[in-house]
Amino acid sequence: MAEFTAEQARENLKNVFDPEIGINIVDLGLVYDVDVSDGGDVLVTMTLTSLGCPLGPVIVQEVTNAMSDLPNLGDVDVKLVWSPAWSPEMMSEDARDELGIW
């Protein structure tokens, strides 16, 4: 049985920042789903701000690293999807405020 919840895993993802924008990937709206299996495996379904994002591999590695302190963590898998495509409307209100987007 996993000793952490999907919500705890999602909270950890708030420590992963898009290096070009400087806002965490959860508030940017890049994380679509976090699934935790009974065995502690984590599947993060997410996107990037653009298909050709040059820092995509760095962000994916940081997502994996962000899970490392969860108790009895199993495997971490990051599934990049392109549908729906990311848009600024997916950002949290805090992220929009920080970037001055009304």
Q: Going from the N-terminus, what domains does the chain have, and what CATH number goes with each?
A: 6-87 (3.30.300.130)
What are the C-alpha distances in Å from 3 to residues 6, 9, 38? 10, 11, 9
Q: What pLDDT is recorded for position 70? A: 97
Q: What pLDDT is recorded for position 41? A: 98
Is residue 46 within 8 Å of residue 18, measured between CB atoms? no
1 Cβ neighbours under 8 A, 6+ residues apart: 38
Parts of the chain with a pLDDT under 50: none
Q: What pLDDT is recorded for position 53? A: 87
Task: State pLDDT tens for residues 10-32.
Answer: 999 999 999 989 999 999 999 99
